[in-house]
């Protein structure tokens, strides 16, 4: 196995809900008490990302996928827990200390219409990070670098003085990728980069991402809810539910023998083309909001296999015989 690149230990992130100060007071037992609601976006995430792999994170809206990505990138600070890049701890760094890591970790965002500055030409957009991180380069060096970069993502270098609105969604997403690649990172976080694109354009961007991974030995953290893309692209998959990882497995193992009840339901819900597909497993209810820190298993309210132990005790990630890890009492007790 390759070397671990990013290591995350017991990461937690709680956002204070933005109730007004007056609303934070409750009348309890004859006294006013100050009480603040927290949204627990991440509840103890442990994860290792190896060099050169593509780790996909899947889960429903509100499960904390994007918060995890943003916390790793240092766009939000975690409430507790540790993040290591190779051997250096990178959470709780200030902006100046973080600067060398900014160059090595880059991000591609979901909406290419919002993530490119509409008032900067493509040249300016790419020039900024290159010039900032490589102050020793001359103007001609930078120009040449930008041209090579644009050509490498399939955009003609002659269009570098055009503005983002002159490009289509797929082209914009390729420019976003070019911007991320411009500082030669080792690690790219892609937060739903394909969800705003059509199938055929999706294929173009996905192919490009795979090419770049081979060329530069990149590691990807790829966040998506499209399981067909995951099956095609990922080396390993982490399934998240309500701020926790409930199953972590290699792509093959996950799709062939999903273990966690949530993973099973998720996989059965993919609309597949073959007519004799399985009936989707129906989950009762929707993802609960993570205002209260859940007691017991996070999935208990929707799980068809839940028993008393699931309501009381939070399951931990246990390594299974085929090297996957699952956090589920039912799997542990071999009830399913």
Options 33, 272, 293, 335; binder of other proteins; rule CB under 8 A = 272
Considering only 82-90, 116-124, 270-278, 327-335, which stretch makes contact with other proteins by CB under 8 A?
A: 270-278
Q: Is 282 in the site for other proteins (CB under 8 A)?
A: yes
Mark residues 140-179: x for contact with other proteins by CB under 8 A, - for none: ----------------------------xxxx--------
What is the rounded CA–CA span in Å between residue 209 and residue 203? 10
Report how far residue 146's alpha carbon sits from residue 264's, in angstroms, rounded to the nearest whole number: 45
Question: In the set 286, 312, 313, 333, which binds other proteins (CB under 8 A)?
Answer: 286
Q: What b/e readout covers 11-32, taking b as 16+ CB neighbours within 10 angstroms?
A: bbbbeeeeeeeeeeeeeeeeee
In terms of CB distance, is 127 or 176 closer to other proteins? 176
Give whichever of 77 and 168 is closer to other proteins, judged by the CB atom: 168
- The two tokens of residue 123 are 């040249």
Contact region for other proteins (CB under 8 A) — 20-28, 105-113, 182-190, 192-200? 192-200
- Contact region with other proteins (CB under 8 A), list: 34-42, 111-119, 177-185, 282-290: 282-290
Rounded (10°) angle between helices 169-181 and 139-152: 130
Q: Which of 93, 137, 157, 287 binds other proteins (CB under 8 A)?
A: 287
For residues 257 and 134, give the distance between their C-alpha atoms in angstroms, rounded to a whole number. Answer: 47
Nearer to other proteins by C-beta: 283 or 331?
283
- The answer to whether 75 touches 158, Cβ cutoff 8 Å, is no
- Token pair recorded at residue 255: 């799709």
Which CB atom, from 259 or from 264, has the smaller least distance to other proteins? 264
Length of the chain: 336
Among the residues of 153-226, which ranges form H helices?
Answer: 169-181, 199-216
Q: How far is CA 21 from the centre of its chain?
A: 33
Query: Looking only at residues 250 through 269 of this chain, which bind other proteins when binding is defined by CB under 8 A?
Result: 251-252, 265-266, 269
> Distance (Å, rounded) from C-alpha 41 to C-alpha 14?
6
Is 61 or 158 the residue whose CB approaches other proteins more closely?
61
For position 18 contacting other proteins by CB under 8 A, the verdict is no
**Max Cα distance, the chain (Å):** 73
Q: How many residues bind other proteins (CB under 8 A)?
A: 39
Q: Is 220 helix (H, G, I), strand (E, B) or coil?
A: strand
Question: In whole angstroms, what is the distance from residue 71 CA to residue 78 CA?
Answer: 6
CA gyration radius, the chain: 22
Please, what is the minimum distance in Å from the beta carbon of residue 233 to other proteins?
Answer: 7
Residue with Cβ nearer other proteins (13 or 174): 174
Q: In the bound complex, what is the minimum distance in angstroms from residue 109's beta carbon to other proteins?
A: 18
Between CA 226 and CA 56 the distance in angstroms is 10
Does 118 engage in binding with other proteins (CB under 8 A)? Answer: no
Which is closer to other proteins, CB of 103 or CB of 225? 225
Q: Which residue in 199, 276, 308, 334 binds other proteins (CB under 8 A)?
A: 199
Tell me which residues in 42-71 interact with other proteins (CB under 8 A): 60-61
Alpha-carbon distance 73 to 64, whole Å?
14
Q: Shortest distance, CB of residue 302 to other proteins, whole angstroms?
A: 9
**229 neighbors 301 (Cβ within 8 angstroms):** no
Per CB under 8 A, the segment of 45-53, 96-104, 172-180, 203-211 that binds other proteins is: 203-211
Residues making contact with other proteins (CB under 8 A): 60-61, 168-171, 198-204, 206-207, 210-211, 225, 227-229, 231-233, 251-252, 265-266, 269-273, 275, 280, 282-283, 286-287
């Amino acid at each position: 196995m390759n070397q671990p690149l990013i290591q995350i230990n017991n990461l937690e992130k709680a956002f204070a809900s933005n109730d007004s100060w007056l609303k934070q007071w409750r009348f309890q037992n004859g006294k006013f008490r100050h009480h603040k609601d927290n949204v627990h976006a991440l509840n103890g995430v442990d994860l290792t990302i190896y060099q050169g792999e593509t780790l996909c994170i899947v889960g429903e809206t509100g499960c904390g996928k994007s918060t995890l990505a943003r916390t790793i990138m240092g766009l939000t600070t975690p409430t507790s827990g540790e993040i290591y890049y190779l051997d250096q701890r990178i959470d709780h760094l200030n902006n100046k200390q973080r600067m060398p890591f900014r160059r090595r970790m880059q991000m591609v965002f979901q909406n290419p219409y919002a993530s490119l500055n509409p008032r900067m030409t493509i040249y300016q957009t790419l020039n900024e990070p290159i010039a900032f991180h490589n102050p020793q380069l001359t103007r001609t060096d930078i120009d040449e670098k930008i041209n090579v970069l644009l050509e490498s993502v399939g955009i003609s270098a002659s269009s570098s003085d055009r503005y983002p609105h002159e490009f289509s969604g797929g082209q914009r997403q390729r420019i976003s990728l070019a911007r991320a690649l411009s500082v030669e990172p080792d690690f790219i976080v892609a937060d739903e980069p394909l969800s705003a694109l059509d199938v055929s354009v999706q294929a173009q961007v996905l192919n490009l991402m795979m090419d770049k991974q081979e060329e530069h030995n990149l590691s990807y953290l790829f966040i998506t809810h499209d399981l067909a893309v995951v099956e095609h692209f990922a080396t390993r998959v982490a399934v998240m539910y309500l701020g926790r990882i409930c199953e972590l497995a290699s792509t093959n193992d996950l799709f062939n023998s999903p273990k966690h009840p949530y993973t099973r339901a998720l996989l059965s819900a993919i609309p597949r083309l073959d007519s004799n597909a399985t009936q989707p497993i129906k989950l009762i209810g929707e993802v609960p909001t993570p205002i209260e820190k859940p007691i017991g298993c996070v999935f208990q309210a929707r799980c068809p296999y839940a028993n008393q132990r699931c309501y009381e005790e939070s399951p931990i990630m246990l390594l299974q015989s085929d090297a996957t890890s699952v956090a589920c009492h039912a799997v542990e007790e071999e009830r399913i």
